[in-house]
Structure 1
């Protein structure tokens, strides 16, 4: 007889099951019942925590993002910080970016949200630390840092992942940073 899960262990199992269901079948075929079956639990256990599938989807995405959190690099230069962060995202989140775009398209359509609504605040805080450090070191001036420019290397990385459905070659990351992004800051 399997051991009964409680508290954080149960919640993790439920969120893992929800994410597995999303990645296997997409949002269009995502149901609370399928998550219950995948988690090996009962509907009341799931509904006590999340009242509907949209709420569960948001929780599952937040759970996965938390599990795949990337550290803010501090290499001493903006170029290396941005490249290091892009490389980390590229190796740890390429599948996540693909799943969030392809499997959740109907979620975004139904809820009127976008991937940036789910990822935006977390990404901005990480990137802001990099740019604040670069300004403090005197590498760049704040007037060159619009939100669009700050997000540009990461937007281009996401685009590359979505076009190829694979991690991006390092030479492409360097090209994004050296020939597109950094020249905009000068």
Structure 2
């Protein structure tokens, strides 16, 4: 079958899955620094313009390929029965992804974060919002109506650690973020929010 005929037959989800598989293979073959849209297009036997219609740049393409291959945390948000356990589980998954992908890929993606659609970052914010809402429903915290900056703080701090170091992130670092920063802050902030709600 010719390349042109092959492109005519592949449409929608099938074509997208083929491209993402090619992107993953290219990433594992040449690394993030040497990955190009042209290289992925050639491996997927399609045109570069087909990639750009779906993803604005290589960072968006690589993130989509990673999520297709390794899964997304949104597929199964941790539910340990307590706020601390849920947040620790989320951060451990992020740390594990760093170990699996390697620092070069993570640092390359984060260096190009400014080029990403904000929707790519909203995923983890939504995960954290769900965890906080469950904690409020269980009565662990006074209210789930917290500042988005407070809700996303553990994820943001872990990303900061990823930028500063090229070594695996330890449980000690995760526990410090959760126990010394996030849990005290969210309890104070949620209590303050609850008091303000009562005034009205």
Q: TM-score, normalised by structure 2?
A: 0.68
Q: Following TM superposition, by how much is the alpha carbon of 1:181 offset from its aligned partner in structure 2, in angstroms?
A: 1.2
Q: Following TM superposition, by how much is the alpha carbon of 1:25 offset from its aligned partner in structure 2, in angstroms?
A: 5.7
Larger radius of gyration: 2
Inter-CA distance 56–86: structure 2 relative to 1 (3 Å threshold): closer
Preserved contact between residue 31 and residue 53 of structure 1 (Cα < 8 Å): no
In 1: Cα distance, 2:102 partner to 2:146 partner: 27
Q: TM-score, normalised by structure 1?
A: 0.73
1:88-107, Cα deviation, whole Å (9 max, x unpaired):
221134537863542563x5
- Select the structure with the greater relative contact order (CA < 8 A; seq sep ≥ 6): 1
1:62 alignment partner in structure 2: 64
Inter-CA distance 33–113: structure 2 relative to 1 (3 Å threshold): closer
Preserved contact between residue 153 and residue 177 of structure 1 (Cα < 8 Å): yes
Inter-CA distance 19–117: structure 2 relative to 1 (3 Å threshold): farther
Structure 1 unaligned segments of length 5 or more: list them.
none
Inter-CA distance 144–33: structure 2 relative to 1 (3 Å threshold): closer
Structure 2 unaligned segments of length 5 or more: list them.
189-200
SS, match of residue 54 in structure 1: coil
Matches within 5 A, 1:106-121: 107-108=112-113, 113-114=115-116, 117-121=118-122
1:102-130, Cα deviation, whole Å (9 max, x unpaired):
2563x55xxx535x825322111111110
Is 1:175 equivalent to 2:176 in the alignment?
yes
In 1: Cα distance, 2:120 partner to 2:102 partner: 11
Matches within 5 A, 1:1-186: 6-7=10-11, 8-21=13-26, 24=30, 26=32, 31-39=36-44, 41-43=45-47, 46-48=48-50, 50-51=52-53, 54=56, 57-67=59-69, 68-70=71-73, 71-93=76-98, 95=101, 99-103=105-109, 105=111, 107-108=112-113, 113-114=115-116, 117-142=118-143, 145-184=146-185, 185-186=187-188
